[in-house]
Chain A
Amino acid sequence: MSANALSQHYAEQVQHLQQSLPGSLPDWLAGRRDGAARRFADAGFPDPRMEEWKYTNVRPIATKPFGEAPVDTGVSAADVSALGFQGLDAYRMVFVNGRLRTDLSDLNGLPDGATVQGLGDAISHDPAPLEPILGTLAHDRFSSFTALNMAFMNDGALVRLARNVRLDRPVHLLMIGTAGNAASWSHPRILIHAGEGAEATVIEHYADIAGAQGFTNTVTELRAEAGAQVRHYLLQDHADGAYHVGSVFIQQRRDSRVISHNVNLGGRLVRHDLNVDLTEPGAEIVLDGLFLAGGRQHVDTHTRVHHSSPNTTSRERYRGIGQGHGRGVFKGRVLVERGAQKTDAQQHSANLLLSPNAEIDTKPELEIYADDVKCAHGATVGQLDTTSLYYLRSRGIGEQEAREMLVFAFADEVLERMDLPPVRESIEARLAARLPGGQAFETGA
C-alpha cells in the first residue's frame, strides 16, 4: 500500500475509533488521546534512520493496512488452558485480539484494597482514578508506537493495589491473538500501580492460536510507590507470523523493588522498549531477559535505565540466542544523572550464535554524570564453547545432545531466576521445542 493510501487508511481508522469508543471520554483522556493521535500523524512510523531504530525496520508493519480485529468468539476454555500455564494458581484475565473476555477470566477472591479490572470497563465506569497514571509514565520520545497505542487503545488491564496490600496470587494477563484476520491489530494498555509497601506479581503473556499474523502494540505503565515490590513477567510467545511492539514504562519511588522477566520466543518482528526511572533513593530494578531469534525472526530489545536519584541500583542480565536466519538486537542504556551518587549499575548481555546466518548486535550505552558510582557492563557474542562440548562428549554424551544441553543451559540460567515454577517449567518446555532438536526448529529454520 502506498504512503498516501496508508495515511487515508489511518485517517479512516481514527474516525472509526471515535465512533466506537465507550461512552463519552472524560476531557483529560480525550485530550491525551487526541494529542497522541496528532503526534503519531506527525511522526509516522519509526524508520531506520533514527538512532533508536537503526537495527529494526518496521516496514512490514507500516505497509500493512491493519485495523481492529473482528470480535472472535471462537476461543474456548480449552484454548486458554492449552496456552496458559498448567498448575498456576492465579487471578486471570483473558483477552482475545485485545478485548477482555470476562467469560474466560477469573478474578474471584481478590483481597480488599486490590483492584484488577479491564481497562475498557474502568474507562467506561470509573475513569477518574486512572487520570494520575494512564499516559503519565508513557511517552513517545523513543517510539511513535507509544502514541499509536494511546490513540487507539480501548482495552487492557488495570492492577491497582492500595497501601500495604499484598496480592496472594499472581495476576495472569493472557493475551490471545487469533488467526481470524491477518490484518488485525490490537493496542492493549496495562496499568500497574503498587501503592506504598504493596506487593504483586503480574504476568503479561502474549500467545496465539496457531496461524495468527496480527500486530500487537502494547504499552505498560508500572508505578511502584515507596517500598513496593513488583514482579513483572513479560512473556512473548506469539505465532511465527505475528508482529509485536511492546513498550514498558516503570517508575520507582523510594526503596521499591521491581523485577522484570522479559522472555521472547515467538513472533516474526518483535521490538521491546523497557524504560525504567529510579526516582528516589533505595529504588532497585532487576531486568532479566532472554530472547530467541530463529528462522526469519527479528527480535529487538532496547532497555533504558535512568538513575535519577542517589543510592539506586540496577541489575540487568540479558541473553540472546540466534539460529537459522534469526536476527537479534540488544541495546542497553544506563543514564546516571549528575546528582545520582552511589548509583550501583550492572549490565550484562551474553549472546549465542548457533548458525552462520544468524546475527546478533549488542550495544551497551553508559552515560554517567556522577563521580561516585559503581557501573559495570559486559557484552559478548559467541558460539558454543568447544571445550565444554568435548568435555560432555568425553563422558559419552552424543554431540547433538551435548549441544542441546549447552544451549538450554545458557538460556536456563536466565529462566531459573523466575519464582513461579509452573511458569518457568512451561517456558522451558516452549523454549526447548524451539531449540535445535526441537520441533519448532525444524519448521522455523
Chain B
Amino acid sequence: MLKIQNLQARVENGTQILKGIDLEVKAGEVHAIMGPNGSGKSTLCQVLGGRDGYEVTGGSVDYLGQDLFELETEERAREGLLLGFQYPVEIPGVKNIYLLKEAYNAQRKHRGEPEADTFQFLKLVREKLNTMQMDESFLHRAVNVGFSGGEKKRNEILQMLVLEPRLALLDETDSGLDIDALKVVSEGVNKLRSPDRAIVLVTHYQRLLSHIEPDFVHVLSDGRIIKSGDKTLAHELERNGYHGIIEEAA
C-alpha cells in the first residue's frame, strides 16, 4: 500500500531532517513508529501529508501504485491517506458537521459516487459519535474551537471513522490524553482495523501500544529507521529507553 524508499527531506532551506527512510506498509497491518523528540517523526507525517514548508531532497514514496508526491494534499486524502494531527487546528466559524460533510462528499465525488443526503449522513455520523463517546452538540460547534486536548483528539478519530481511510497516519494521537480519553481514542482506532486498511501510529510513548497492538514497531532516530521488530521491541524500549537502542545501533 505504502512504500517509502530512501526518503530524504528537510525544512525548506533548512536542516536536513529525514536522512533516508525505508518503510513498507501493507494492507491490514498496524505499524508503530517510535522515536525520541527531534528524530523526524512529525516531519515524516507532514511530508506524507503534503504540508508546505518541507522539501523532499531524495528517495520516493509509492502509495497504491502512484507517486505520492504527484498528488496534492486533498488528492492524497481523497485517495484514502488521512493524517491525524498532533495539534488539530481550530477553525472558527466552520461547524464540525459542515467540515465532515464536505470532506465526506469530496471523497464520494472523487470516487464518482453521488453525494450523501443529509439524513443518511447524519445517521452515519451519529453512530460514529457514539463510538467516540461524543455528544451530538459537538457537530454544531466550530471545528476544534474551545475543545479540550482530549476532545480534539477524539474529533480527529471521529473524522477517521466517518471518512474510512485506507491508510490512517496518526501523529502523536496519544499526546495530551488522560487515561480515559486514551482508552476511547484507542477503541476508535481499533475500530478502524481491517484487512484492507493500514494504520501507522507515530508516537513517543509505549503506552498507546498497550491499547492498540501493532504488528510492527520501528525506531526512528536522527532521520533514519534504526531498528524494526514486532511488538516486543516496544517493550524493550520501555525497559531500556531510546538510549540503549540508539547505542546498540551505532
**Interface, chain A (partner B; CB < 8 A):** 386-388, 390-399, 401-402, 405-406, 408-410, 412-413
Contact = CB atoms under 8 A, between A and B. Distances in A.
Given A398-B74, A399-B74, A392 B99 contact: yes
Given A386-B52, A401-B102, A405-B102, A394 B91 contact: no
Given A394-B76, A394-B83, 17 more contacts: A390-B49, A390-B73, A392-B91, A394-B77, A395-B74, A395-B102, A395-B163, A396-B78, A396-B103, A396-B106, A397-B74, A397-B102, A398-B74, A401-B106, A408-B93, A409-B92, A410-B92
B173 interface: no
Contacts of A410: 92-93
A395 B76 CA distance: 9
Contacts of B49: 390, 394
Nearest to B74: A393
B140 to A, nearest CB: 12
B249 interface: no
25 contacts: A388-B89, A390-B89, A391-B85, A394-B49, A394-B77, A394-B83, A395-B77, A395-B82, A395-B99, A395-B103, A395-B163, A396-B74, A396-B77, A396-B106, A396-B107, A397-B103, A398-B74, A399-B74, A405-B99, A406-B94, A409-B92, A409-B94, A409-B142, A410-B92, A413-B92
Q: Which of B76, B106, B107 counts the most A-chain CB atoms under 10 A from its CB?
A: B106
Contacts of A391: 85, 88-89, 91
A399 B142 CA distance: 20
Contact of A412 (B89, B93, B107): B93
Contacts of B88: 391
A437 B52 CA distance: 24
A116 to B, nearest CB: 35
Nearest to A401: B102
A388 to B, nearest CB: 5
A398 to B, nearest CB: 5
B227 interface: no
A431 to B, nearest CB: 13
B235 interface: no
A386 B46 CA distance: 14
A348 B90 CA distance: 20
B160 to A, nearest CB: 10
A401 B109 CA distance: 14
Contacts of A408: 93
A435 to B, nearest CB: 13
B115 interface: no
A390 B51 contact: yes
Contacts, number: 77
Interface in B67-125: 72-74, 76-78, 82-83, 85, 88-89, 91-94, 98-99, 102-103, 106-107, 110
B109 to A, nearest CB: 9
Nearest to A387: B89
Nearest to B90: A388
A18 to B, nearest CB: 52
A406 B93 CA distance: 8
A386 B200 CA distance: 25
Given A401-B102, A405-B102, A396 B163 contact: yes
Contacts of A401: 102, 106
Given A396-B78, A397-B102, A390 B94 contact: no
Contacts of B72: 393, 399
A388 B91 contact: yes
A408 B51 CA distance: 23
B8 interface: no
Contacts of A386: 52
Contacts of B102: 395, 397, 401, 405
A14 B231 CA distance: 91
Contacts of A396: 74, 77-78, 103, 106-107, 110, 163
B186 interface: no
A96 B99 CA distance: 43
B159 interface: yes
| Closest CB pairs A-B (n = 8) | A409-B93, A396-B77, A395-B103, A391-B89, A396-B106, A393-B73, A393-B74, A396-B78
A406 B91 CA distance: 8
Contacts of A399: 72, 74
A392 B73 CA distance: 9
Contact of B106 (A388, A390, A398, A406): A398
Nearest to B93: A409
A410 B77 CA distance: 25
Q: Which of B77, B89, B93 counts the most A-chain CB atoms under 10 A from its CB?
A: B93
A401 B106 CA distance: 10
A368 to B, nearest CB: 29
Contacts of B73: 390, 393-394
A293 B135 CA distance: 40
A172 B78 CA distance: 47
A393 B76 CA distance: 9
A350 to B, nearest CB: 10
Contacts of A413: 92-93
A397 B83 contact: no
A292 B45 CA distance: 38
A388 B103 CA distance: 14
A218 B185 CA distance: 58
Contacts of B163: 395-396
A436 to B, nearest CB: 16
Contacts of A394: 49-50, 73-74, 76-77, 82-83, 85
